[in-house]
Amino acid sequence: MTIPALRLGTAWARLCGLMDEAAESFVRTSFSSVVRDNWDMAVGLMDSAGRQVAQSSRSVPSFVGTMPRTLAVMLRRYPPASLVPGDVLISNDGYHGTGHLNDITMVKPLFRDGRIAAWIGSTFHCTDIGGAPSVEARDAWEEGLTIPVAKMLRAGVENEDVVAFLEANLRMPDEALGDIRAQLAMYDQAAPRLFRILDEEGLDGLDPLAAEIFARSERAMRGAIAAVPDGEVTDEVTADGFEHPVTIRLRLAIRGDGITLDFSGTDPQIARPVNSPLNFTRAYSNYAVKCAFDAATPNNDGSFRPITLIAPEGSIVNPRRPAPVWGRHLTGHYLPMLVLAALGRLIPDRVIAESGSPLWNVYFTGERPDGRRYTRMFFMNGGHGAAASHDGPSCLSFPSNVATQPVEQFENAVPMLMTEKALIPGSGGDGAQRGGLGQRISFNVVGDRPVTATYRHERVQHPPRGLLGGTAGRGGRDLVNGKPVPAKARIVLNPGDTITFETPGGGGFGDPRDRGAADRARDAAEGYVE
């Protein structure tokens, strides 16, 4: 079936709009601040075969990449023929999902005329998933509750068994179940609108439209890759790690209209929670290629067909069970920057220097005066890497795209006061274009009970690199009452204590001697340099 270009464009845009509308519905009815304020979630639409067609525009990139692969694993347990209208599948298995237990994925088959015509799915971060997530975890079983592939709804009826084990294992089950039920309502809202769009566009189901989208997207990506001369480059990046640094190695090869990302030679997995399961590794590696070669086309299955990924099993970018994975982003977030650094030698005008990530965050847990427990997470972004055409923005999340929670909302939820939130002058790398600045954030315990802070931060020993002559950004620091503390730790804060986080600055781009005098004067006038 050939779909006229105008009809294709209109229908495609409407599907993307539908996913945005669904995401807004989820966010507005969610119970948790991590969904409501941080948008640590994704909503996606897949064709009858489970291939990604469209997603909400603010979806977390890794979730977009992992959702279809999670569905494929779900269907091994529940083949399509075994499903009925109203069923909803659920799992948070880190090795089959987004890489760690805190992200729960659900998918619902959408039936029409007695057959599965499409799938709608969503993934969200659940701040507490039971257990005792810790930087000291030595295997995946220490990291919390694993939800095996199960039915959250059976023919439209909530599965009491799943609800029971969530209530028995989570510290804040009402919040998690509230987010789950918000997604179930979102599915019911989106399904009839999907079929109405197809009918109004005169399309015989989603599959013919999806096939055309995949084909055009693949052609666009292959054309962009083919326009770059064949070549092979290698690069490596050093992560702080734990007792010793960890090295991730990449060989990037362009041959014709295809690209290969080969992580052979990367360090082996370790018995600490920084291993990046293959799903997460693939999602963020593909994301970097998409950004560099075909950023304008909405993500879908066709976009990633020209990419071949090699990640040796047993390495830190493809660990074997039961390696701990809670902080898998501490490895996985390096991958887009490593890919872009390698591509910088081939297409320097389309890449950025390294950013002040892997993403920084902190978990605060404690007990309220009435005895109720709380767990709250706060995201903190470092400086963005500079590009050939512009300075890097300050405090911008990359490669994840989570938002920052309003200070007042955070302070209303926990007995803590944020006493400082400021840019750090001089923390961005120098260059023809400067890297974005990191930030300093301080939290003071104002309640009368201890608060436990759990965090795991990178770019302390090995700051974000500059690119093509740009200098590195400043590394990060963690302090309690003004004294440095380890970058990966669980610390008990007593009433009156202050914990401070200084996020890394982004790397600079190009030779610093090429930065103009007017730009230098503006840097000084605006306080960007010390």
Distance from C-alpha of 213 to C-alpha of 138, rounded to nearest angstrom:
44
Taking the CA of residue 91 as centre, how many other CA atoms within 13 Å lie in the half-sphere pointing to its CB? 25
Distance from C-alpha of 36 to C-alpha of 29, rounded to nearest angstrom:
8
Q: Report whether 354 contacts 473 (CB < 8 A).
A: yes
Q: Report whether 56 contacts 20 (CB < 8 A).
A: yes
Six token digits for residue 80: 């399509």
- AA identity, residue 458: E
Distance from C-alpha of 77 to C-alpha of 70, rounded to nearest angstrom:
11
- Helices (H) and strands (E) counted in the chain, each on its own, are 11, 20
Distance from C-alpha of 403 to C-alpha of 406, rounded to nearest angstrom:
9
Distance from C-alpha of 1 to C-alpha of 59, rounded to nearest angstrom:
30
What pLDDT does 1 receive?
64
Helix/strand/coil for 392? coil
Six token digits for residue 298: 């909405």
Six token digits for residue 225: 């890759």
List, in sequence order, the alpha helices (H) in 403-472: 407-413
| b (16+ CB within 10 A) / e for 172-188 | bbebbbebbbbbbebbe
- Give the CA angle between residues 448, 449, 450 to the nearest 5°: 135
Phi, psi of 370 (to 5 degrees): -85, 5
Distance from C-alpha of 39 to C-alpha of 62, rounded to nearest angstrom:
13
Q: Which residue has the tokens 């730790």?
A: 489
What pLDDT does 4 receive?
85
Phi, psi of 460 (to 5 degrees): -95, -50
Q: Report whether 70 contacts 96 (CB < 8 A).
A: yes
Six token digits for residue 317: 């970018």
Tallying the residues shown for the chain, one arrives at 530
Task: Give kind and range of the element (H or E) at residue 523.
Answer: helix 517-525
Q: Which neighbouring-strand residues pair with 122? A: 43, 106
Q: Which residue has the tokens 């970097």?
A: 288
The distance from CA 237 to its chain's CA centroid, rounded to whole angstroms, is: 20
Distance from C-alpha of 93 to C-alpha of 278, rounded to nearest angstrom:
13
What pLDDT does 3 receive?
85
Q: In this structure, is the dihedral angle defined by the CA atoms of residues 266, 269, 274 and 277, taken in order, positive or negative?
A: positive
What pLDDT does 131 receive?
83
Distance from C-alpha of 46 to C-alpha of 116, rounded to nearest angstrom:
11
What pLDDT does 137 receive?
87
Distance from C-alpha of 182 to C-alpha of 28, rounded to nearest angstrom:
9
| b (16+ CB within 10 A) / e for 5-27 | eeebeebbebbbebbbbbbebbb
- Give the CA angle between residues 193, 198, 203 to the nearest 5°: 170
Nearest Cα residue to 414 out of 367, 454, 456, 381: 367
For 319-363, give the DSSP string: PPTT---TTTHHHHTHHHHHHHHHHTTT-GGG-BPPPS-SPEEEE
Q: Judging by DSSP bridges, how do beta strands 88-91 and 157-158 pair with one another?
A: unpaired
What residue ranges of the chain have pLDDT lower than 50? none
The distance from CA 203 to its chain's CA centroid, rounded to whole angstroms, is: 33
Phi, psi of 509 (to 5 degrees): -125, 125
For 49-108, give the DSSP string: T--EEEE-TT--HHHHHHHHHHHHHHHHHS-GGG--TT-EEEE--TTTTTSSTTEEEEEE
The distance from CA 514 to its chain's CA centroid, rounded to whole angstroms, is: 34
Q: What is the DSSP-derived secondary structure letter of residue 342?
A: H
What pLDDT does 154 receive?
98
Question: How many C-beta atoms lie closer than 10 Å to residue 28's C-beta?
Answer: 11
Q: Which neighbouring-strand residues pair with 262? A: 251, 310
Q: Burial level of 114, CB count in 10 A (0-12/13-18/19+)?
A: exposed
